[in-house]
Amino acid sequence: MEEAGRAVQDRGVPQVGLKIDVCNRRALDRGVPGMLALLAEQGIQASFFVTFGPDHSGRALRRLFRPGFLRKMVRTRAPRMYGLRTLFYGTLLPGPPVGEAAPELLRRIEGEGHEVGIHGFDHVGWHDGLMRMDEEQVRSSLSRAAERFGHALGHPPRFSGAPGWQVSATSLRVQETLGLDFASDARGPAPFVPAVDGQALRTLQVPTTHPTSDEVLGAGEADASGLCAYYLGRLRGAGPHVLGLHAEAEGIHLSAWLGDLLTALKQRGARFRTLSQLAHQARPRACIRSLELRRIPGRADPVACPGEPAPPADEAPGTA
């Protein structure tokens, strides 16, 4: 009865989850401490998605030939955001390890009340190469990330987020074997149960619901000084709202707008939840949707998005 009463009381109150991606070594070394300081100041818990394996960020420069990528690099001031060394990792410089390089920092994240999941093995390798991977390659990539996560934190990962919101039917099936509580592999308006070839999967999807700051800047929808106002205009209604952040951005040069946004949202009465909490709340009423790749403003590549709703979860195959 107490939980039901709380649910009624919270109806219409914005529910906000912070999804913080740690995609490279600079994000780990400099961005994560900055994010932790900001979150401690605000008294908010968040969900960190950490890449394991080598930082091959420099190989992403091959995307220069894709429409819109160069414009995004210029508008987001990528060299300043990532640092020059990062832009050469995996090409002129060897790629240093990411998550496994700082187990004490990862344990600190959990010790401060946040949660940690995996964000792939070799972020650029997955982002740019997933569609060419066979099942064994996908399995190797996910299992290596999970194994290194376990060594660093002493327990298996409970959630995952695909680099660049890139998924395939194969990656979703293999991900099922990890026994995750949920995944955040997609972009979309609300949590859902993914289906592959008409078969509902067990791993709930908690998608990123709003554009990331690099997408907003890259698409020219706002400049850095206008980001707080931009998101305040979008973060209305109960949600749940999942705000995608990047430690190398909001943890270093773009922390000011995020601090202003969190303060303003708290003044509005917003309730901040980890993505695990949002998943738990959403699971009983989540509908089944297929996943498809779509283009969205501010990104050079299509990303995973939910398709049309399927029958209710209790009527679909594979959910018993």
Over the stretch 25-81, which tens digit does the pLDDT of each residue have?
A: 999 999 999 999 999 999 999 999 999 999 998 887 655 545 555 455 555 555 566
Burial of 36 (0-12, 13-18, 19+ CB in 10 A): buried
pLDDT computed for residue 88 by the predictor: 73
Name 121's bridge partners. 52
Phi, psi values for residue 179, rounded to 5°: 65, 40
- Model pLDDT, residue 6: 45
SS3 208: strand
* Exposed/middle/buried for residue 315 (C-beta within 10 Å: 0-12, 13-18, 19+): exposed
* C-alpha span between 275 and 240 (Å, rounded): 10
Q: Could you tell me the residue ranges of all domains in the chain?
A: 14-179+210-284
3-state secondary structure of 160: strand
On whether the 14-179+210-284 domain is CATH 3.20.20.370, my answer is yes
User: Residue 110: exposed, middle, or buried by beta-carbon count in 10 A (0-12, 13-18, 19+)?
Assistant: middle
Bridge partner list, 222: none
Cis-peptide, bond into residue 79, ω within 30° of zero: no
Amino acid at 254: L
Q: Which residues, given as ranges, of the chain have pLDDT below 50?
A: 1-9, 65, 70, 312-320
What local confidence, expressed as pLDDT, does residue 92 receive? Answer: 82
Instruction: Please give the pLDDT value at position 3.
Output: 46
Q: Which three-class secondary structure state does DSSP give residue 115?
A: strand
Helix/strand number for the chain, H first, E second: 14, 12
CA–CA distance from 228 to each of 37, 39, 243, 261, 314 (Å)? 19, 16, 12, 5, 40
CA–CA distance, 190 with 179 (Å, rounded to integer) = 22
- Model confidence over 97-122: pLDDT tens digits? 999 999 999 999 999 999 999 999 99
**pLDDT of the residue at 216:** 94
Q: Is the separation of the CB atoms in 47 and 138 below 8 Å?
A: no
